[in-house]
Structure 1
Amino acid sequence: MKLNKKILYYGQITWGSTSLQRYNALSNIFFSSYPVDSRRAFPDKKSGRSIFKSIQGRLGLGPIISITKNILLQEVNRFNPDIVWIDGGFLVNQETIIELKKLNITVIHYTPDSILAPGMSNLCFRKAIKEYNYVVKTKTQDLNLYKKNKAKNIIFSQQGYDPKIHKQMHLTKDDLRKFSSDVVFIGHCMKRRLEQIEHLNRELNIDIKIFGTGWDNKDISQDTKSCFHGPAIDLNYAKAISGSKICLGLLNHEAKDEITTRSFEIPGCGGFLLAERSKQHLEVFKENIDAAYFSSKEELVEKVKYYLENKDERMVIKNNGHSIVKKGMYSWPSLMSDVIKNLNLEN
C-alpha cells in the first residue's frame, strides 16, 4: 500500500542516472509524486552550462541560487507536496528551505556523493544544511562535516543498484562485438584511476574496455584512448558488465570513498567484482568469496592475471557476489523504503 502523501523530487532527471532510479523507487512508495529536473537551473556541460554557471555552482554563489529558489517554489506552489526530497541540493539556499518549512513541508536532503569532494560542499550548501528536517548521507567519512554544519536527524543509507537495469543480460553477436572484454571499467576519468588503468594496460596484453567520460582528454595517451568506447548508459551499462570477465571497482580518492554504486551494480549484473580493498567493501563482500580486491597497481595486475587464468574460481566468486546484492537490501526500492520508514511519515 502506498503512503498517502505527495512528494516533490528535485534532482537530475537524467536517463540512466542513479537520481532517476531513486525517483522511480520513491514514486512507487507515495500516492502522488512529481519530479522537477535541477538541470533547469544548472544544465549539463554539453547542453548550455556556461563557464560562469560552472563557477557559480562550484562556489555556491550568484544568480543561479535565486533561479533555483524560484523554480523550486514555483513547482511547490503548483503541486502542493507534503514532502520535498532534494537530491544533491548544492544550489538550494537556506532561505528556500525556510520558506518550504513555513508551508508545513518536510524537507529532506539526499546525496549519493561525498561532500568532501571538490565543489560538493560549497558556501550555499554549508549554510543550508542545518535547515533540513532530515539529511540522508551514504558516506561514513562525511559524518563530522555534517555535524560541523549543524545538520539535524542524520540518516545513513547505503549505495544501491536498480534491479530493472542492473541485471544479467543475454548478449547478441552485435552486443558481443561492442561489449566483450577481459577487463572493463565504467566511470569518469580521475588521476588515480588513469594511473591504474595505464599500468594494467602496459603490463598485460589483454582486452581492456573503458566506458564513461573524460577518457578522451587530450592529455591521455593514445594507448589508453584506444580502450575508450564512450558512455555506457542504462541497459548498455549492464551489457558492458555482462560482456566482461573482470569488472573493476575503482574508487574516488579525492572524496575518500570506500564504496560506490558500481560496487553493487557490478554484482547486480552478474559481473565479477575486482575492487579496491577498503573497510566498507570488506564489510559487504567477503574477500575471495563474494569479490576480489587489490591495494596497489602491482596487486591489480596480479589479480587480473590470476582470475583470467582461473575461470572456475572466478565464476564461483561472481555468483556469490550476485547472490549478496539480490537479497534485496541493496536495491534502490529497498533502500528508499528503509529511509522513508526512518522519517516517521506514516502519521
Structure 2
Amino acid sequence: MANILYLGCDAHGSTSLHRAQALARLGHTISHHNPAAAATGFMGSSWLDPIHYRTGYRILQSPIRSWLSKIIDSIPKPDLVWVDSGEFFGPTAIAGLKGLACPILLYNVDDPTGHRDGRRFDSLLKALPLYDLVVVVRKETEAECLSLGAKQVMRVIRSYDEVAHQPFLNPTHIPTEFRSEVIFIGTWMRYEKRDEFLLHLLEQGLPLSIWGSRWKKSPHWAKLQIAYRGGSLSGRDYVAAIQGSKICLGLLSKGNRDLHTQRSLEVPFAAGLLCAERTTEHLEMYQEGKEAVFWADAKECASICHRLLLNDSLRENIRVAGQKRVLALQVGNENICRKILTHLRIG
C-alpha cells in the first residue's frame, strides 16, 4: 500500500473529499491537505475571491509554495502526490514537489482547457508539463492537454462514491421534505439557460422541484420560485432527494463541453431514475428507455416525464435496470482510483 500526499481543492467541495476517502478505503495512507489553507487572509471575501479566480490564482503562488514547503517537511516521504482540481498550483509550486522524487498526478473533472471559466486555470495550464500524469474526463481536454505539453494524459468517466451515495436500504426512511415527482438538483449558471429549460417544463404542467444555489439570480426567478425547495444539498440529504424523487433531471454544462456529468452516475447509483440530455456518452452508458431516459429539448423532456409519471411499473423497471447498469460500469470512486494507481504501478 502507498503513502499518498493528497492536495484536494475546496472548489469541488465534497467530491474531492470523497476521492481521498476512496483511496483510504483501498488501504492507502492519505495525508490530506486543502490548499485553501494556504490562502488564509488572501481569500474568503466577496471581492478577493473573484480577483483570484479571474487571474488564475497567480497572486497566491508565493503563499502556496510556502505552504507546500511546510507540508513536505512535516510528512513521511510519499509514494505519490495526488493533486485534485489543481487551479491553485502553478509551475513553481509543482516544481517544488519534484524534490519528493515520486509521481505527481493531476486529477481534474472540469474543463481547464475550455473557455467557460475565463482565466481560472491559467496557473494549472502552465504547470501541465510538470505532471507525470494528467487525468481528465473529456476527449477534447485529453487532446488539448497533450498539445499544451502534458507528458501523459488519461481519460476516465466521472464517478459516484460507493459510500457517500449509497441509497437508503429502507426508502420509507427518506424524510417527507425530500420527496418529489420530478427534481433538478444544481446551481443556476449565467448563460447556461437552465432556468429557461426548467421554466418550459413548468409551463408544460410538470410537477417540478428545484434544489440548488443562486437561483434567485435568475431573471425568471419570479416564475421559478414556486418550484424552489431550497439551497444546495450534500451528504444524506442529497441522496434522499435523488432517491425520494420519481424522476431526476440531469442537465449538462454546455460551457464546459459536457456530454455526461457526475449526476449521470450518481443518480442511478443512488436509486434514482436518470432523465438527461441525449448525448453520445449517455447512449454509451445506458440503453435508452430501459436503463435511463433521454431527450433532445425541453418539449421532449416534458413529454417523457408526463408519460413516466403515469406508469409506475415502467418507471420502476427503468430505475432498477439503471442501477444495475451503473454498477456494471464499475465507475465508483474506488474503481476509478484503483484504475489510475494501476496505470502508475502504485500500490
TM-score by length of 1: 0.91
Deviations 1:221-247 (A, max 9, x none): 223123221121111011001111100
Q: Distance in 2 between matches of 1:14 and 1:175?
A: 29
Aligned-residue offset at 1:171: 4.7
Aligned to 2:214: 214
Q: Please say if 1:321 is aligned against 2:318.
A: no
User: Could you tell me whether the CA contact under 8 Å between 2:57 and 2:120 is conserved in 1?
Assistant: no
Q: Please say if 1:23 is aligned against 2:20.
A: yes
Deviations 1:169-191 (A, max 9, x none): 23557812x11111111111123
Q: Distance in 1 between matches of 2:122 and 2:11?
A: 25
Aligned to 1:68: 64
Q: Distance in 2 between matches of 1:213 and 1:30?
A: 36
- Structure 1 gaps of 5+ residues are none
- 3-state DSSP class of the match of 2:203? helix
Q: Distance in 2 between matches of 1:66 and 1:145?
A: 28
Q: Please say if 1:336 is aligned against 2:337.
A: yes
Q: Relative to 1, partners in 2 of residues 1:304 and 1:234: Cα closer, same or farther, differing over 3 Å? A: same
Aligned to 1:180: 179
User: Could you tell me whether the CA contact under 8 Å between 1:13 and 1:35 is conserved in 2?
Assistant: no
Aligned-residue offset at 1:104: 0.7
Aligned-residue offset at 1:317: 0.8
Q: Distance in 2 between matches of 1:49 and 1:37?
A: 18
User: Could you tell me whether the CA contact under 8 Å between 2:56 and 2:119 is conserved in 1?
Assistant: no
Deviations 1:193-237 (A, max 9, x none): 21111110111152x211121112263422312322112111101
Structure 1 residues 119-128 or 240-249, which shifts more?
Answer: 119-128
Q: Distance in 2 between matches of 1:294 and 1:114?
A: 24
Q: Distance in 1 between matches of 2:150 and 2:120?
A: 13
- Structure 2 gaps of 5+ residues are none
Q: Distance in 2 between matches of 1:284 and 1:114?
A: 21
User: Could you tell me whether the CA contact under 8 Å between 2:10 and 2:34 is conserved in 1?
Assistant: yes
Q: Please say if 1:106 is aligned against 2:103.
A: yes
Q: Please say if 1:54 is aligned against 2:32.
A: no
Aligned to 1:89: 86
Q: Distance in 2 between matches of 1:160 and 1:120?
A: 26
Aligned to 1:124: 123
Q: Relative to 1, partners in 2 of residues 1:53 and 1:255: Cα closer, same or farther, differing over 3 Å? A: same
Aligned to 1:241: 242
Q: Relative to 1, partners in 2 of residues 1:114 and 1:120: Cα closer, same or farther, differing over 3 Å? A: farther
Aligned residues: 339
TM-score by length of 2: 0.91
Q: Distance in 2 between matches of 1:227 and 1:157?
A: 35
Aligned-residue offset at 1:89: 0.8
Q: Relative to 1, partners in 2 of residues 1:55 and 1:121: Cα closer, same or farther, differing over 3 Å? A: closer
Q: How does 1:184-263 map to 2 (within 5 A)?
A: 184-190=183-189, 191-206=192-207, 208-217=208-217, 219-228=219-228, 229-263=230-264
Q: Please say if 1:11 is aligned against 2:12.
A: no
Q: Distance in 1 between matches of 2:321 and 2:174?
A: 29
User: Could you tell me whether the CA contact under 8 Å between 1:90 and 1:120 is conserved in 2?
Assistant: no
Q: Distance in 2 between matches of 1:235 and 1:143?
A: 33
- The one-letter code matched in structure 2 to 1:78 is S
Q: Distance in 2 between matches of 1:192 and 1:15?
A: 22
